[in-house]
Amino acid sequence: MDNITIAKTFSAMADMLEIVGENRFRVNAYRRAAETVEASTHDVCTRSKKQLMEIPGIGEDLSDKIIEMSKTGVCKECEQLKKKVPEGLLEVLRVESIGPKTARLLWKKFRVVSMMGLERLLSTGKLEGARGFGVKKVANFKRGLEIHERFRGRQPLGYVLPLAEKIIQALRTSKLCEEVEIAGSLRRGKETVGDIDILVTSREPQKAMDFFVVLPQIKMIEQKGETKARVILTSGIACDFRVVAPEAFGAALYYFTGSKEHNVQARTMAVKNGLTVNEYGVFKVQSRKSIKSKVKNVERVAGKTEEEVMRAIGLPWIPPELREDRGEIEAALVGKLPKLIEEKYIRGNLHMHSNWSDGEETMEAMVRASKRKGYEYVALTDHASSMGMVKGTKEHTVDRYIRMVRAVEKKVGGIHVLAGAEVDIEKDGSLYLSDKSLAKLDFVVASMHLYLKQDRATATKRLIRAMENPYVDCIGHCTSRSLGKREPMDLDMEAVMKAAKRTGTIMELNAHWVRLDLNDIHARLAKEYGVTLSISTDAHTVVESSMMRYGIVTARRAWIEKKNVINTLPWKEFQKMLY
């Protein structure tokens, strides 16, 4: 039983409780617990009841449920709920514009218990005209269904961000908007995002709105009001667009950047101080009654910038990547926010491939690309793997590889080039190259590429054995996940980090957006254990050298500072650390 499974159970319970019409605050408690457990860097199963109850949002009942699940593998109440609510209905809930009320109605009145049932019902045309269901609503369901099928769930950050930046660019050059910013989970740098949020100020809101909805990237308009539009891009992802007044821009940016959980915490704090926060600003309220009665006998205290808004509610500015209600508000209140890493601190890239193995370009091209980025050093780490690869470093070609790297270093000049390898960790934790060969290399990244479905104990033991090899400097993409394609390996991450600390092994945060591995939670755990990180691109092409930004944003989400990352060190200090 792991955090993810427990989080999923709580989340499913929240959905089911909502469908059966439970008190929404109880539903919320389950949702919040799901988020908290998922974000926890520690394995909640190993925690005592007392420790669990110290976690905000986990009380008497939920801590018992966590303990029950870690002991028995199931949650009785969840099983009972499953008997009440058909499981397939939970997926129906994922369809845009179908919420708990509609799902319940579809189920009780029209016997829909699955996506297939929904599809069938929509195709019969029985729904139109039924009480509460007009033509438009049904059309919305159909569209929602279509989007859901073509486009299940969230898209990777590295795929969505460039799309959003193109739109931002168009809006900025249109001269119709003054401020243009990305908000939402994209601004927070989540590894996957559900949609794009764009926020602008404009003196001509109507014109800005009209300009936006006809951008070439836009396939379909879902909503268009005075201040808000929602469209679907040709790539399938939804994009929300909001126009706000300049004096409210900061408040709106803060509000729409989220996360929802962070907002709830911040607002709750504000309410205690006699303030109310919405997307228009921070306001003083005379009494709680005045909020309830919506009588705005209010005085605006802040709104123009995020700094101003946060200051008004008693907080310093908190970087967007931290706004997940993972302790950032508490840290901010006592002045303990981390000084987050920035891309400009990176002085080298310690994982990349050339056409010696499966990269597309020459060693020289890759090194030159790094030099152009202003790096002081770079490690060429071509594969050393049995993985059906004709190319790559073999036992008998190590010397030749090193000679070639030295020649490239000399030829390019002005950048230190390490002769490295990304060596395969075999099924049993041994390495593809002999110690004698590994000893010759400047930088050894060890990664798992095969047997990725091992059970937790076996996989953890395998990885730790690799770390114990004195010639391994770094573990590459620890869980070997591939976003949207391959699940992460099942590893005991606390044991892994302990071993990394003990053996002095660097843990890579692989910056390629398909990997982002370590993820934000694992990287934060590494920091807690005092493990040194490397943030490197795993680039296979020159273009991929620019993946660094995704690694940085993920590191920031993990509260990582410059001092936690080895490749922020100047060359001389880096060298000292390595040998």
Report in angstroms how near the CB of residue 136 gets to DNA at its nearest: 4
Considering the complex, state which of residue 134 and residue 484 has its C-beta at the smaller distance from DNA: 134
Among 63, 534, 554, 568, binds DNA (CB under 7 A): 63
Q: Does 263 bind DNA (CB under 7 A)?
A: yes
The correct pick among 61, 149, 165, 342 for binding DNA (CB under 7 A) is: 61
Binding mask 110-139 for DNA (x = CB under 7 A): ---------------------xxxxxxxx-
Residue with smaller CB distance to DNA, 15 or 442: 15
Q: Which 162-191 positions form the footprint of DNA (CB under 7 A)?
A: 184
To DNA, the closest distance from the beta carbon of 312 in angstroms equals: 14
Q: Residue 60, interface with DNA (CB under 7 A)?
A: yes
Taking a C-beta distance cutoff of 8 angstroms, is the pair 240, 196 a contact? yes
Nearest C-alpha neighbor of 567 from the set 341, 381, 349: 349
User: In whole angstroms, how close is the CB of 201 to DNA at the nearest point?
Assistant: 15
* Position 56 contacts DNA (CB under 7 A): yes
Q: Cis bond leading into 518, ω under 30°?
A: yes
Between residues 136 and 572, which has the closer beta carbon with respect to DNA? Answer: 136
User: What are the phi and psi torsion angles at 195 (to 5°)?
Assistant: -160, 175
Angle at 295 between CA 291 and CA 296, to 5 degrees: 85
Contact 395, 388 (CB under 8 A): no
Q: Which of 97, 290, 362, 541 binds DNA (CB under 7 A)?
A: 97
Stretch touching DNA by CB under 7 A, among 50-58, 315-323, 435-443, 529-537 = 50-58
Among 91, 279, 360, 364, binds DNA (CB under 7 A): 279
Per residue in 108-120, is it b (16+ CB within 10 Å) or e — as a string? eebebbbbebbee
430 lies in the site for DNA, by CB under 7 A: no
The Cα 143–Cα 373 span in angstroms is 45
Q: Is beta strand 383-384 parallel, antiparallel or unpaired with respect to 275-278?
A: unpaired
Please pick, from the candidates 195, 492, 517, 520, the single residue that binds DNA as defined by CB under 7 A: 195
What whole-number distance in Å separates Cα of residue 193 and Cα of residue 72?
34
Q: What length does the chain have?
A: 579
Q: What are phi and psi of 250, to 5 degrees?
A: -60, -45
| Binding of residue 227 to DNA (CB under 7 A) | yes
Per rule CB under 7 A, is residue 443 in the interface with DNA?
no
From the list 101, 152, 339, 502, which residue makes contact with DNA (rule: CB under 7 A)?
A: 101
Q: Any idea what DSSP says for residue 44? A: G
Q: Does 236 bind DNA (CB under 7 A)?
A: no
Cis peptide before 386 (omega within 30 of 0): no
Which C-beta is closer to DNA: that of 101 or that of 400? 101
- How far from chain centre, in Å, is Cα 247? 31
Which residue's structure tokens are 């909502």? 18
3-state secondary structure of 377: strand
Instruction: Decide whether 30 or 432 has the Cβ nearer to DNA.
Output: 30
Q: Which of residues 15, 35, 181, 240 is near DNA by CB under 7 A? A: 240
Among 167, 193, 277, 547, binds DNA (CB under 7 A): 277
Of 436, 488, 487, 420, the closest CA to residue 460 belongs to 488
Using the contact rule CB under 7 A, the part of the chain among 95-103, 170-178, 325-333, 495-503 near DNA is 95-103
Residue 294 interacting with DNA (CB under 7 A): yes
**Binding to DNA by residue 103, rule CB under 7 A?**
yes
- Strand ranges in 289-336 using DSSP code E only, listed in sequence order: 299-302
Contacts for 563 with CB less than 8 Å, ≥ 6 apart: none
Name the token pair of 487: 């699940």
| 25-44 positions binding DNA, by CB under 7 A | 25-26, 28-30, 33
Instruction: Phi first, then psi: give them for residue 299, nearest 5 degrees.
Output: -125, 125
Residue for token pair 């908290």: 36
Given candidates 57, 88, 319, 327, which one binds DNA under the rule CB under 7 A?
Answer: 57
With CB under 7 A as the contact rule, the residue among 49, 59, 210, 295 that binds DNA is 59
Q: How far is the CB of 126 from DNA (least distance, A)?
A: 14
Alpha-carbon separation of residue 441 from 384, 416, 444 (angstroms)? 12, 14, 7
Q: Are 325 and 262 in contact (CB under 8 A)?
A: yes
Binding site residues, DNA, CB under 7 A: 23, 25-26, 28-30, 33, 53, 56-63, 77, 95-103, 131-138, 140, 184, 194-195, 197, 223-228, 238, 240, 256, 258, 260, 263-264, 267-268, 271-272, 276-280, 288, 291, 294
